[in-house]
Structure 1
Amino acid sequence: MHRFVQAFAVHLLTASGAALALMAMLAAGRGDWPMMFLWLLFALVVDGIDGPLARRVRIEVHAPQWDGVLLDLIIDYLTYVIIPAYAMVEAALIGPGWSLAAGLMICCTGVIYFADKRMKTRDNSFSGFPGCWNMVILVLFAVDIGSWGAMLLMIAIALMQFFPLKFVHPVRTRRWRPANLGAMAVWAGCAVWAAWTSFEAPAAVSALLVASSLYLMGAGIAQQIVPAGRPFRLRREG
């Protein structure tokens, strides 16, 4: 019974992401974009810690009647894709028409990616951009790169979801893990600062936000170019 309680508690922790998604959506409905992103950042933290806890308590053994992977994917689609896309459209981040087109693109390509059973590589990284549109849209709120620049960036990232490009999982990818975790910590700190200041953070914070984003986007691809020990071969797992 003790093991079951532990495992079920982890399921509840994962499920709390749905409550955080609702809070984010309520903030978005008020047009309170800073608070919306803060709720999404809380959800990102939950998503980062529930996996290691699930493996620690062997959740698939002690509470197998609930599918933790499916639960995680449902919540991730809400917090990573739907709510950020909604915010971009409602805020007309790149103009009304283009924002709607980009939002539709994000939702359609994102749901296809999340349904792909081959998204993980052998080293627990991601094959293709892992649909983290919450991070992309937050950076676009914080850093103005112009409407055309933002649209072209989103098209490029949407396409990256379907190419065999490696993207690190900051927690699960073993190679360069200290640097990956460090970059994620810098990104999260800068993201909180940017949202807390209603996206009026100092230029240095914006620069660190962009730099850490570029690292997280490029680290896995760099690992493909410079393999460790032997040539890296992507293997999508079913």
Structure 2
Amino acid sequence: MISTQRIATLKAWGAHGFTATGVVLAFLATLALFENQPTACLLWLGVALIVDGVDGALARKVNVQSVLPHFDGSVLDLVIDYLTYVFIPALFIYRYIPLPDYTPLLVTTVILVSSLFCFCNVDMKSKDNYFQGFPAAWNVVALCLFIIGPPSWVTLLTVIGLALLTVTRMKFLHPFRVKRFMPINIAVTSIWLLCSLSLVLNHPTLNHLVMGLWLLASAYFLGICIWRTAMEWFDVNHGKHS
């Protein structure tokens, strides 16, 4: 009969194993780039995004820190996140997103280097689990640029602007960790993911209803970020703690 401790250990390793699938997804996304399949690349990155969204809750549920104290799951998560959130999306933007002449290498460098600050920032999260500064979510940026297809100079300014926001205290929503409005946040995130899937699979054909829902969901996220940032500014300027 398997002991309770052995079962807990197996569950903890299972949680780490689930997180580790992200590196396989990163490899598959890279293969898609090599094979000139941008849609497949985004789909693999999308699966990796979902895995990253739920693996933390799974790890906390099985209490991996106390069961396996010698294995740092946060480092595992960061290594995979840099691949799937930063490095592969930077390659995607370099290869598939139009940029002004002579700027692709600059843009890629800005993405890679600014993200290092984000990943090394010990104040990455606020007390209520918002990201402080742009959280290097370049996979989401790559997806948005692919769907919208803005002029090259808009893409350049967008990348530079987001990189600069990395070193600010602007708040960005983590839909699975922020407790306030969590049911709404998760519902809107689900709608956004489903719309993104549809838009990517049917690209470049555009379904206006799906696009409208996708834009509304995106506007909701932007609004939440601006609202939370404004609340902190108000609290700081009126002598309250954020």
For the criterion TM > 0.5, the same-fold answer is: yes
Question: Are residues 1:160 and 2:171 paired?
Answer: no
Q: Is the 8 Å Cα contact of residues 125 and 169 (structure 1) preserved in structure 2? A: yes
Task: Classify 1:233/1:96 alpha carbon distance in 2 versus 1 (closer, same or farther; 3 Å).
Answer: farther
Q: Is the 8 Å Cα contact of residues 97 and 146 (structure 2) preserved in structure 1? A: no
How big is the shift at 1:101?
A: 1.7
Which runs of no fewer than 5 residues in structure 1 stay unpaired? none
Could you report, residue by residue, the CA deviation over 1:96-122 in whole angstroms, capped at 9, with x for unpaired residues?
532322111101101221111110110
Task: Classify 1:132/1:188 alpha carbon distance in 2 versus 1 (closer, same or farther; 3 Å).
Answer: same
User: Match for residue 24 of structure 2?
Assistant: 19
TM-score (norm 1): 0.91
Q: Is the 8 Å Cα contact of residues 142 and 200 (structure 1) preserved in structure 2? A: no
How big is the shift at 1:52?
A: 0.5
TM-score (norm 2): 0.90
Tell me the distance in 2 between the aligned counterparts of 1:66 and 1:48: 20
User: Match for residue 99 of structure 2?
Assistant: 94
Question: Are residues 1:208 and 2:213 paired?
Answer: yes
What is the identity, as a one-letter code, of the residue corresponding to 2:24?
A
Spell out the pairing of 1:28-107 with structure 2 (5 A cutoff): 28-95=33-100, 97-107=102-112
Task: Classify 1:20/1:181 alpha carbon distance in 2 versus 1 (closer, same or farther; 3 Å).
Answer: same
Q: Which structure has more RCO (C-alpha within 8 Å, separation ≥ 6)? A: 1
Q: Is the 8 Å Cα contact of residues 21 and 40 (structure 1) preserved in structure 2? A: yes
Tell me the distance in 2 between the aligned counterparts of 1:57 and 1:6: 6
Q: What secondary structure does 2:126 align onto?
A: coil
How big is the shift at 1:32?
A: 0.5
Q: What secondary structure does 2:136 align onto?
A: coil
What is the identity, as a one-letter code, of the residue corresponding to 2:229?
Q
Spell out the pairing of 1:187-206 with structure 2 (5 A cutoff): 187-206=192-211
Aligned alpha-carbon RMSD (Å): 1.8
Structure showing greater Rg: 2
Which runs of no fewer than 5 residues in structure 2 stay unpaired? 1-5
Q: Indicate which of 162, 171, 180 corresponds to 2:176.
A: 171
Could you report, residue by residue, the CA deviation over 1:177-226 in whole angstroms, capped at 9, with x for unpaired residues?
12221221122111111221234331332333333223223413302324
Spell out the pairing of 1:119-130 with structure 2 (5 A cutoff): 119-130=124-135
Task: Classify 1:104/1:203 alpha carbon distance in 2 versus 1 (closer, same or farther; 3 Å).
Answer: farther
Could you report, residue by residue, the CA deviation over 1:117-149 in whole angstroms, capped at 9, with x for unpaired residues?
110110111111111110011110010221111
Tell me the distance in 2 between the aligned counterparts of 1:219 and 1:202: 26
Greater mean alpha carbon deviation, residues 202-211 or residues 10-19? 202-211
Task: Classify 1:99/1:186 alpha carbon distance in 2 versus 1 (closer, same or farther; 3 Å).
Answer: farther
User: Match for residue 3 of structure 1?
Assistant: 8
What is the identity, as a one-letter code, of the residue corresponding to 1:33?
P
Q: Is the 8 Å Cα contact of residues 111 and 163 (structure 2) preserved in structure 1? A: yes
Tell me the distance in 1 between the aligned counterparts of 2:75 and 2:223: 28
Tell me the distance in 2 between the aligned counterparts of 1:24 and 1:96: 26
Tell me the distance in 1 between the aligned counterparts of 2:33 and 2:122: 31
Tell me the distance in 2 between the aligned counterparts of 1:138 and 1:97: 23
Spell out the pairing of 1:215-226 with structure 2 (5 A cutoff): 215-226=220-231
Q: Indicate which of 116, 119, 143 corresponds to 1:111.
A: 116
What is the identity, as a one-letter code, of the residue corresponding to 1:146?
P
Q: Give aligned-pair identity as a percent.
A: 34
Q: Is the 8 Å Cα contact of residues 141 and 199 (structure 1) preserved in structure 2? A: no
Q: How many residues are treated as equivalent by the alignment?
A: 232
Tell me the distance in 2 between the aligned counterparts of 1:94 and 1:106: 14
